Amino acid sequence: MVIWTAQRTVLIVGEGADEVAFLNHVKHLYVPRGCGLSVKIKNAQGKGARHVVNWTARQMDIGVYDKVAALLDTDADWSPAVNKTARERKIQVLTSEPCFEALMLRVLGENPDSNASALKRQFAPFVNNDATQSRNYANHFSTERLQAGCLHEPTIKALLNLIKS
């Protein structure tokens, strides 16, 4: 019997359910079983950037990871102080500017609307009107689309580098 152990471990915290669904989709695309990488994805349940960073730091106190990142919006509670806390705790911040839906729409080559409720409506058709289900990202967020997104979205590039390196 062969016992497989991960050579590297990564924790990625999503701000909320939509981010977690997208992260699980990316994990499915890029992290096959037995590849030597264990990626744990957790949900910080929203509440702004400060909460996400602090919640992620608490998760680091519970488990040991080689790398830790948090995917969060910059439209709520993001500040130099929060960024400093993340750096001090060695949490790689993956920013969605100003929010997750805007980031995803830019990856798709769309021109995002300006306010949060309009962004959610604009993004909904691309995820079968339910951004909380990872399977709903498959049609529009292929490996090719994500690779193309790396060219103009540093957050996508950083995410893929985190799980591919």
Rg of the Cα atoms in the chain:
16
Nearest Cα to Cα of residue 4 among 32, 34, 37: 34
pLDDT, position 3: 56
Q: What share of the chain is helix, strand, coil (3-state, %, to 5)?
A: 50, 15, 35
Q: pLDDT below 70 — which residues of the chain?
A: 1-6, 165
The conformational region for residue 9 under phi > 0 = left, psi -120 to 50 = alpha, else beta, is: beta
Give the pLDDT confidence score for residue 113 in this predicted structure. Answer: 75
Check residue 79 and give its pLDDT: 95
* Structure confidence by residue, pLDDT tens digits, 51-81: 999 999 999 999 899 999 999 999 989 999 9
Please tell me the predicted confidence (pLDDT) of residue 6: 53
Domains and CATH numbers, the chain: 8-160 (3.40.50)
* Per-residue confidence (pLDDT) for residue 164, from 0 to 100: 83
Tokens of 44: 């910080």
Would you state the pLDDT for residue 1?
Answer: 58
User: For residue 4, what pLDDT is reported?
Assistant: 55
**pLDDT recorded at residue 114:** 78
Is residue 89 within 8 A of residue 32, CB to CB? The reply is no
